[in-house]
Chain A
């Protein structure tokens, strides 16, 4: 049986009428996709939110990016439960100074 490699990641940019941007992420936020998403976020100058409704898989670096993004004021919309829990835990640990 042939197993494919890393899950694909697709990032769609939606510009709202209030000039805010929603980045709709599909697939996995893992491996090199983390860097891609970080770069896309860095390039945004307007208010930006991440729609994670179609995210299936997130690795540790991906969660770290999401946690940092949320700490920087980026809204995480439709965040899958396990990702939500992981991000929250990481933020709590970061606030308590615990090595994560």
Chain B
């Protein structure tokens, strides 16, 4: 079917279609014969003309109303001008009469001229107004009166002036009175007539105006209505001439949209709409023909689509399927209704559903063709792999108007591919798990495949290696060498060589490469296997080094090694040093057994051969020291060891051994033995001397710094000597300063633990909350501040001795822990869970009366008895005054030496003071006094100041009472201590300190001051 590209719309054509039309639009005015633009222009022009005519009528009516008003105004002006003339006459008469009385000719003349001028102007104006054309008839007497006035007054005035100039003022006054009065009468008459006439004109004008206004009220609405009717009529006609054809076109378009190709639009005329209507009808006819053709083609296409061996469907732009061919429906066992829209998705395999739908949505969103594979359920329930392709159909603007899709069954191919892929995967796994790197090259030398080991060893990815020449990473071969290898390999020769491979990071490693070429199809390939031989090279290097070191070691130690074959009965290996020891030439071959045996000293030869045979035949290790004699007569002493190596069969495979040249050792052995003998004798002698010296040292240091020979002290030292060798717990009591720690040290030194630690703990010096952690240690994090594990004093003293000074100051909870240690010898660190066993000897000391403390409950009874296994009471210095002189001498010597002074004696008075003083601070106080004296002494005689000694020393101090007995209560205790501190200005220690004043040990008072939270510093300046 052919269609012309252009459509010619003619009246004839319109007439031809007219018989088919359903609706015929008829235009009685035949406006359709003119163009729409011309029609609209004509209508607008007509409307404008009618409006102009209406405006002209209105103007005419308004002018009629204005005419009476103009006449009325003119009458008023005329009346006014006449009144002004009358007024001028009155003024004229009165002013001149008054001037005439004054006889002032000059003034009279001037005034007369001015009045004349004024009068003349007013009369002229009145004449002008009365002379204007008027519609009404004017009274002739008016003009006559005006004329009379205009003529008479100036002459009268001139006469009056002449009379005045002549000095006839009486005549002037007379003339003014008579003549001017007459003129006034005329003017009054004039005014009366003009007034009457003006009244008449006003009445006529008002009446005329009323009449014109009434006419205006009728004419103006009539004119406006007529104009409006004309405009409406023209507008309606023009609009209908357009809207009716448009309506017809719309009806036709709607019918066409509904597929009614029989509908015709018939519009008469020659305007644009008529042409459009004819074009529309022509197009409808052509579309009808096309539609019929399309329906035929579609039917044929559907038949084709349902027949072709493919699954075909189409979908709307939004992806909903609107057509599925019969083959697809038959395949899936679906009806058309079930498959349309998104119903086809039910046939997708559940595992492929989400992925396929996602891809389909992405294709719809992007407008790009889609191709994927998915499993689809067949009518028999079996899932088959389908290759599914979707392509969009776009219109000329690029908008997607349709999707078309096909599917083809690829299940067989898919299964074959999967099997092939599985086989390839298996093969790839085998290849990738090879311990050596595999490369496949083509005949040009480029890599076409590699295994995983190749990638790992070189640091490249598989994609990077494929296509790469192996020479890129071969650091040892040049192009020529590579070319030679390719030629050798391609000629069928298996090629093996060592080279260096360079990794991607630049590092190099040695490889052993074997290549074999093979044909695959029409092409030749090479399979190269590269084995990393770094370890082997390293081992070889290590072996070379080892051999070198062994050779050098043998050279340095004059030791050779050898191997002997029992079967061949000959040496199979000699080290270099063997040649040197035996005097054979290193460049020669291995010497024969006989040649070697000849060089053995004859006296030793049989013994040596016998030992060799024992090892060679029986496999037993053997060793000999013998002599060899070299060709130059030199005799060497040789020491040989032999060892047999057995094969798996149990037979002796070979023997090997060492030969050491011990000539030098042999020669020096005698000297060494002599020296050893001498040393042994000296050692024995030294041992004896050492024993003697140790005894002396022990005796001297047994009671180091325990000075005195008094009975009381000897008793103490005797007890120390008895208890020291044991591991018994010792409780040392005594006043402060009596040297309890010295006693404890003496016990430790004399015990079997003397080589181990002596750990001293002043229990009163530790913060109460830290005593447990200090004694037993703590774990990291046990409390805030425990930043690391801390070993306690007990653990430190393991194997040795722990000295618990001021044990009476221990808090009750710590006493319990200490009791457990004494009983079970084990404890846990603070914050720890593991029990720690220790072997510690406990020596406790106190200056407190522990029995009293037990009584008041501040010290555990069971702990007391655990500690009080072996009590030692250290006497106060006042009970061993015999020792004072010796102690003074001892301390003077110590401090004088330290101060580089030469003090030869002690003053008599000083000695008396020493002897008489009670020494409440005991030896420590004595020591301090002596040290102070040595410092202050200038000569060689030691002297002390009497004021140093406490005056209140007559009363001996006793053991410290328990805190509760120090005062009745804490309040009283605080008051006592604060009073003492106030007296001593905060000083605690010393003869004048608060401790001495209260007769309590310094450490105890310090402890109580802390316990009671007394600030000592506040008493310093009190």
Contacts and interface: CB of A to CB of B under 8 A. Distances in A.
Contacts of B778: 8
Grouping DSSP codes into helix (H, G, I), strand (E, B) and loop, the A interface class, with mixed when no group exceeds half, is mixed
B654 interface: no
Nearest to A54: B767
Given A8-B773, A85-B1017, A37 B785 contact: yes
A32 B787 contact: yes
Main secondary structure, interface of B, reads: mixed
Interface centre among B767, B778, B783 (most CB of A within 10 A): B767
B480 interface: no
Interface stretch (A10-18, A58-66, A67-75, A89-97): A10-18
Interface string A1-13: 1101101111111
Given A4-B793, A53-B1013, A55-B767, A11 B783 contact: yes
A8 B774 contact: yes
B1013 A84 contact: no
Contacts of B727: none
A7 B769 CA distance: 13
A46 interface: no
B488 to A, nearest CB: 74
Contacts of A20: none
B759 A36 contact: no
A12 B783 contact: yes
Interface in B990-1022: 1010, 1013, 1015-1018, 1020
Contacts of A13: 784
B765 interface: yes
A8 B790 contact: yes
Contacts of A1: 757-760
Assign chain B's interface to a size class. Answer: 20 to 34
Contacts of B758: 1-2
A27 B784 contact: no
B796 A36 contact: no
The interface centre, meaning the residue of B766, B785, B787, B796 with most chain A CB atoms within 10 A of its CB, is B785
Interface in B743-798: 757-760, 765-770, 773-774, 778, 783-787, 790-791, 793, 796-797
Given A1-B759, A56-B765, A84-B1017, A8 B784 contact: no
A33 B785 contact: yes
Which range holds the interface residue count of chain A? 20 to 34
Interface string A25-51: 111000011001100100000000000
A21 B774 CA distance: 26
Contacts of A27: 767, 770, 785
Interface in B785-828: 785-787, 790-791, 793, 796-797, 800
A24 B767 CA distance: 12
A39 B251 CA distance: 92
B1016 A81 contact: yes
B784 A40 contact: yes
A50 B773 CA distance: 21
B757 A2 contact: yes
A34 to B, nearest CB: 11
A36 B767 contact: no
A86 to B, nearest CB: 11
B769 A26 contact: yes
B783 A81 contact: no
B605 to A, nearest CB: 67
Given A2-B757, A4-B793, A10 B768 contact: no
B787 A8 contact: no
Contact of A2 (B774, B796, B986, B1016): B796
Given A2-B757, A2-B796, A8-B778, A54 B785 contact: no
B1017 A81 contact: yes
Contacts of B1020: 81
A11 B1010 contact: no
Contacts of B1015: 81, 84
Given A2-B757, A2-B796, A78-B1013, A10 B765 contact: no
B1005 to A, nearest CB: 14
A10 B1017 contact: no
B766 to A, nearest CB: 8
Contact of B786 (A10, A55, A78): A10
A81 to B, nearest CB: 3
A83 to B, nearest CB: 10
A36 B986 CA distance: 33
B759 A10 contact: no
B1009 to A, nearest CB: 10
Most chain A CB neighbours (cut-off 10 Å) among B770, B786, B1020: B770
Contacts of A7: 770
B768 A2 contact: no
A25 B767 CA distance: 10
A20 B437 CA distance: 73
Contacts of A55: 767
Contacts of A5: 790
B1010 A53 contact: yes
Given A54-B769, A54-B770, A11 B785 contact: yes
A10 B784 contact: yes
Contacts of A8: 770, 773-774, 778, 785-786, 790
Contacts of B757: 1-2
Nearest to A79: B1015
A56 B763 CA distance: 13
B760 A10 contact: no
Contact of A10 (B769, B1010, B1018): B769
Interface of A: 1-2, 4-5, 7-13, 24-27, 32-33, 36-37, 40, 53-56, 78, 81-82, 84-85
20 contacts: A2-B796, A4-B774, A4-B796, A5-B790, A8-B770, A8-B778, A8-B790, A10-B783, A11-B784, A12-B769, A13-B784, A26-B767, A33-B787, A37-B785, A53-B1013, A54-B770, A55-B767, A82-B1017, A84-B1017, A85-B1017
Interface of B: 757-760, 765-770, 773-774, 778, 783-787, 790-791, 793, 796-797, 800, 986, 1010, 1013, 1015-1018, 1020
Given A4-B793, A8-B774, 10 more contacts: A2-B800, A4-B774, A5-B790, A10-B769, A10-B786, A11-B783, A36-B784, A54-B1010, A81-B986, A84-B1015
